[in-house]
Every structure is written in structure tokens, then in C-alpha cells.
Amino acid sequence: MLELRDFSCGYGAFQAVHGLNLKLRPGAITGLLGPNGAGKSSTLMCVAGHVQQQGGAMLFEGRDISGLPATERVRLGLAISPEGRRLFKDLSVQDNLRVGGMVQPAKVFAHDRDRVLALFPRLAERLDSLAGNLSGGEQQMLAIGRALMTRPRLLMIDELSLGLMPKVIDLCYLALDTLRAEGLTVLLVEQNTERVLKVADDICVLESGRSVWQGTAAEARQDPSLTEAYLGLH
């Protein structure tokens, strides 16, 4: 699946992530945790091809994709639901999904759209609504759904629950359980640490752009020094 070796990324002269080694298990949910400014979002955006890689290797299914443009990474099976969602707010729900599905043959659009609507039934009721008129929760569902329209093998989600009502958060995490059961690999950045520790299989904690802890979620839950020092749990 995805493997980062001595990976660094950043913006111009600023290095956001330093020497990260991370290997995702296929079909698992990996939570990327840490305080604000730790480099979590930068890591996801670099893997997606939107932030400069400054060193190391980035392997996807055994192939070094370090120099590939973002569009080619999507075709290989990487997709991101970014922080802030970045929807086309003047387009309908249906058309946002269509944009996501542009990398796939037109004949599979209806099938893939229906799969997304089965995962998020609320979107089926809002197909003709403009994305800008949706609630925050509906927009998050649409952002994830648009990413799924690319038929990814790796789905990256940045700040899943930010600003959402608890009921909507539950629906989104239920969808993650379904996707994992289908074999999808997920890399998740999330401020809701307790929720991630419950749903994730593996955890990587970043601080100041460096990995300070890696292991299973079960190990993380049983490590009080970790949860208190880095994750804000007591």
C-alpha cells in the first residue's frame, strides 16, 4: 500500500515534516494524530501531490510516486477529502460527484454514484441542491463521496469531524467502518482523538513534523504517557 521512507515535505524553504517513516497496512484505518502544526495535513496533501516533497521516498503499491502529478496519483488510486472540503459550491451535489468520477469511464458513473448514495442516504435527497447550500455535515459527506467516485485504493481524510454535530460524526464513522469492511485503506487526520483511538487499527503521532510514536490503536489506548503527553487525554 503506501509507504513513506525518510519522507520530508514542506513549503519553499519551510520544512513541515522531517524524516517520516510510515507504512500503511492494506485494508486498515491509520490515524495520524498530533497537535496543531505537527505536519499532519501537510503529509496528506503531499501524498496527494499538492505539497512539495523535499526528501525521501513515497511508495504506493511498490512504485515510487514522488515525482508524479496529483492527477496521475488519482488515477493510480489515491484520493483525498481535504480539510475545508473544497467543494464546487455553485455546482449541484450530482455534479460534484460527476467531477469526482471524471477519471473513470462515463459508463460507471451511475453505479459509483449509487454506491456513494447508499453510504450517505442524505445526499440522495439533495442531489439537485447546490453544494454551497448544504449543511456542514452534508458537505463533509459530499467531500468524502466525491473522493470515493475516483475508485480509490487509499482514501485520505483530513479533519473528518471538524465543526460537525455528533450525529453526523457518527454517520461518517459508520461509513468508514463500511469502507474498511470492503477492503479500502484509510489514512485519517482527526482532532477527535478519542474517536480515532476507537475506530483506527493503527496510530502514528506527529509532533513538530516528526514521528514520536507508532503502533496499534490498542497499544495507544494502553499507554497513559502517550495519551497525556501528545493526545490530550487523561
Closest CA to 40 of 9, 64, 78, 68: 9
Across the chain, mean pLDDT equals 94
pLDDT bin (cut points 50, 70, 90) of residue 21 is very high
Please report the DSSP string for 119-141 in residue order.
H-HHHHTTTTSBGGGS-HHHHHH
Residue type, 59: L
Structural domains of the chain, with CATH: 1-77+189-234 (3.40.50.300)
Question: How far, in whole angstroms, is CA 156 from its chain's centroid?
Answer: 2
pLDDT digits (tens, 9 = 90+) for 84-96: 788 999 999 999 9
Contact (CB, 8 A) for 206 and 18: no
Write down the residue that cell numbers 493503527 correspond to: 202
The candidate with the shortest Cα–Cα distance to 141, out of 176, 109, 106, is: 176
Query: For residues 88 and 100, what is the distance between their CA atoms, to the nearest angstrom?
Result: 11
Phi-psi region of 73 (alpha: psi -120 to 50; beta: other; left: phi over 0): alpha
- Residue 73 has φ and ψ, to the nearest 5°, of -65, -40
| pLDDT at res. 105 | 85
Distances (CA, A) of 39 to 19, 207, 219: 12, 8, 22
Q: Crossing angle of helices 93-100/109-119, nearest 10°?
A: 120
Query: Around 217, how many Cα atoms within 13 Å sit in the side-chain half-sphere?
Result: 17
Q: Which of these, 58, 74, 60, 47, lies nearest to 158 by C-alpha position?
A: 47
pTM exceeds cut of 0.75:
yes
Per-residue pLDDT tens over the stretch 28-62: 999 999 999 999 999 999 999 999 999 999 999 99
